Amino acid sequence: MILKVHNITFSYNSVNVLEDITFEAGEGEILGILGPNGAGKTTLLRCIFRALIPKQGVILLDGRDIKAVSRIELAKKISVVTQENVIAPFTVLETILMGRFPHTTTFKLFDYNATNLVENVIEKLDLREFLERGLNEVSGGERRRIHIARALIQQPKVLLLDEPTSHLDPNYKLQIMDVIKEFTIENSLVTIMTLHDLSLAARFCDKIILLKEGRIFAAGTPSEVLTPKNIGEVYKIDVRIVEGENGEILGILPLKTIRDDKNEMVALRNPLL
Amino acid sequence: MVLEIYKQMIARKILFTIFSAILLILSVVIGVSIGVVQIPPSLVLKILLRGSSSESNYLYAIIIWKVRLPRVLMASLVGASLAIAGCLVQGVFRNPLASPYVLGISSGAAFGAAFAVILELWFVIPIPIFAFIFAMFSLMITYVVAAEDGRLPVTGLLLAGIAVASLFSALTSFMMYVAGEKLEVIVFWLMGNLTGIRWKEVQVVAVGSVPLIVISLFFGRELNIMMLGEDTAKSLGVEVDKSRKVIVILVALLVSVCVSYVGPIGFVGLVIPHMVRLVIGPDNRFLIPASAFFGGAFLVFADLISRVVIQPAEIPIGIITSLFGVPFFIYLLKRRKKVITYDIEGA
């Protein structure tokens, strides 16, 4: 399975939010989409699962335009963890099992084929003790894990995650990223996620796309993309990169915001503001 | 292990759905047996099951077949339809305080009925036909006002519904203001009642509502998914915009068919889904059928009370349902934090 995004342009009210985005994502790899707030990360993700239709360009899944695939067929291939913070009135288990929706029929109550998968995912995401609680009775971080579990039991070929680690403590950040990495490799998934945590991106992503004002500013491996120069240009911050013995990035420490001669923060000079 | 937990969750829902179905059957038998003339339930069952009757039961059979059964069946059909409409509308709006009447349809129907009375058109065309035409007309307005680039956004729908309801309420008030001695007829209709229901009316309503009820059952699963949020629902394969349109039209038709015949009976559509939700939770796959049975039974009992409290006179059923509905509604509002686990759209 290969996901090709070709020449995507998307605009809200004639302002281009995404321009000429082209990239490919392959099996067993995590692709990170990075960029400052408002760079178009979520919009790009929403185009890929057809919540939005781009003004120009095509998105191909194994050579097939996703516009030609019905939504239910698409749901069998692509699963998504959005940033929507809707607290539906269901129990945790009910919510997780809704991931089987595209694979079951209207009056089938339980998909017995998925029993092992469901057990496995619940175990790995450490959700067993919550199963009978309501979604309103768990914390924001727990809800994140619940929705990741829901997306995983959807058995996708492509997994899209919009800030999967937001609301999570450092322990769960690592744990969740490990689980996602494991699933990506084991099931040869095409995993695409937006991230704000540069260190986490450097550590877990195989490829990175750095967006700036709706365009691809840089793309490549983490060490190619996440250079102090690129980060400075895009995020307007000075960073120190902590490298391991083999030159791999261990962490990216933000040091200070870049200011101009008048001591104003450069990042605030965004023409859109 | 997960399977066991899930089976337990489901078992409870199935049991309550069966219980509601039995309750509905019981309510029909009781509803038919009680009235100005008391008929023992055993005799009711005998007459209902055998169809014809012996000489000694002749009078009872006539009361049952000609008077009470059509009325009781009408009550159960209307109760079921309104309760289902309530489930659907609360699911679509992701708002537990929505009632099937928020779309403005019942107000349109009420105006249609008042209009027919004022113009004395009911000699030519029956009031329900007029009410139905105006219900459809108000749906059209709500729909057109709410639609945005071929989509039907929830907030827009709610606001358009409120606007249309206000418009037709004002027009109805005007009709009542100029009604003179016909005012009583309008008021009677507006309070909702099942007086004088015969097989002809039951047949028409059944032909309209039974298919709609059956179609509604197919939407439970999708409605569950839609409650997770719009993008998540799309990613799970639900055509959110399309499903929402279909559900809104389903609600509108269910409400129109019932309200046109029996008037805008209040609170069933709002309260019944809540009562059921308190027992089995919000899973629409079970909430919809269980509410249908439960709503049907509720309205049969409400009708029974309306017939017997000051017999041989009747209290309009709308008054009874609201008398029961309002205290429960207030109770719900008071413990909203516990019951409402919805995230209200746009709030």
| Residue B60 tokens, joined | 């009872």
Residue B324 pLDDT more than 90?
A: no
The pTM (predicted TM-score) of the whole model is 0.89
ipTM confidence: 0.91
Per residue in A177-207, pLDDT tens?
A: 999 999 999 999 999 999 999 999 999 999 9
Q: In chain A, which among 136-175 make CB contacts under 8 A with chain B? A: 136, 147, 154, 160
- Indicate which of A12, A13, A84 best probes the interface with B, i.e. most B CBs within 10 Å of its own CB: A84
Q: Please answer whether residues A28 and A184 qualify as being in contact, where contact means their C-beta atoms are separated by less than 8 angstroms.
A: yes
User: CA B103 → CA A229, B40, B269, distances in Å?
Assistant: 56, 43, 12
Q: CATH number of the domain that B11 lies in?
A: 1.10.3470.10
Classify residue B347: in a domain, yes or no: no
Residue B271 pLDDT more than 90?
A: no
Q: In chain A, which among 25-54 make CB contacts under 8 A with chain B? A: 46, 49-51
Structural domain count of chain B = 1
Classify residue B93: in a domain, yes or no: yes
- Indicate which of A50, A70, A71 best probes the interface with B, i.e. most B CBs within 10 Å of its own CB: A71
Classify residue B260: in a domain, yes or no: yes
* Domain interval for residue B120: 2-339
Instruction: Give chain A positions within 8 Å (CB) of B224.
Output: 90, 94, 98
Classify residue B346: in a domain, yes or no: no
Per residue in B226-264, pLDDT tens?
A: 999 999 999 999 999 999 999 999 999 999 999 989 999
Please tell me the distance from the alpha carbon of residue B295 to that of residue B289, in angstroms, as a whole number: 10
Q: Is B86 helix (H, G, I), strand (E, B) or coil?
A: helix
CA distance A64 to chain B (A): 18
Classify residue B345: in a domain, yes or no: no
Beta-carbon separation of B238 and A98 below 8 A:
no
- Using pLDDT thresholds of 50, 70 and 90, give the confidence band for residue B75: very high
Per residue in A50-98, pLDDT tens?
A: 999 999 999 999 999 999 999 999 999 999 999 988 888 899 999 999 9
Task: Compare all CA atoms of chain A with the CA of B6 and give the residue at the minimum distance.
Answer: A93
Which has the closest alpha carbon to A143: A84, A201, A97, A98? A84
For the residues B192-202, what does the mean pLDDT come to?
88
Classify residue B71: in a domain, yes or no: yes
**In degrees to the nearest 10, what's the CA dihedral of A131, B89, B204, A107?**
-30
- Using pLDDT thresholds of 50, 70 and 90, give the confidence band for residue A273: very low
Least confident window among A12-26, A119-133, B36-50: B36-50
Q: Residue B223: CB partners within 8 Å, gap ≥ 6? A: B87, B88, B91, B92, B247, B284, B288
Determine if the peptide bond prior to B312 is cis (ω within 30°): yes
Q: In chain A, which among 49-88 make CB contacts under 8 A with chain B? A: 49-51, 71-76, 78-80, 82, 84-88
Beta-carbon contacts below 8 Å between A and B: 112
Q: Please answer whether residues A3 and A190 qualify as being in contact, where contact means their C-beta atoms are separated by less than 8 angstroms.
A: yes
